[in-house]
Amino acid sequence: MAQPTLNNQRMNQNENQSSIISRREFLKLVVPAGVIIGIGGSIYVLSEDKVFLRPPGAVSEVRFLSLCIKCRKCEEICPQTTIETVSITEDVAGSGSPKLNFRVGACDFCMECVEVCPTGALEMM
């Protein structure tokens, strides 16, 4: 079998180095882009100040978002179908939580949603 010449060895070495450099260059581009996208996403989430009309008895918004487990029991029981779910396009942090939509139905304050809420996100007034 033919032995690799010195020239061939150098050429292989150069090819390896150029692929290492291109990987490094790739990482130099991709890692900061990922960080920027990540930070941008966080800023987007933190800066969003969406306000939704919550079902009756909802505690303060910050507490509500920490208590609501997005079980949708309130939505399922509402006899007026006034409650619907916040979509991810409306609000990332609050998606899945309940909101009132008076275009669909009018709330008659039956308080059935409060009664089924398992976490206290909705409290009897």
Q: Kind and range of the H or E element at 66?
A: helix 61-67
Q: Please, how many CA atoms are within 13 Å of residue 98, restricted to the half-sphere of its CB?
A: 29
Task: Choose between 42 and 119: whose C-beta lies nearer to ligand SF4.
Answer: 119
Cβ closer to ligand SF4: 91 or 113?
113
Instruction: Dig out the tokens for 32 from the structure.
Output: 């900061």
Q: What is the C-alpha separation between 70 and 58, in angstroms, rounded?
A: 13
Q: How far is the CB of 52 from ligand SF4 (least distance, A)?
A: 12
Q: Give, as one character, the DSSP assignment of residue 69.
A: -
Choices 7-15, 29-37, 40-48, 63-71; region in contact with ligand SF4 by CB under 6 A: 63-71
Of 99, 67, 59, the closest CA to residue 83 belongs to 99
Q: Segment near ligand SF4 (CB under 6 A), from 1-9, 17-25, 31-39, 72-80?
A: 72-80
Is residue 86 at the binding interface for ligand SF4, with CB under 6 A as the rule?
no
Contacts to ligand SF4 from residues 35-54, by CB under 6 A: none
Looking at 52, 59, 70, 93, which residue binds ligand SF4 (CB under 6 A)?
70
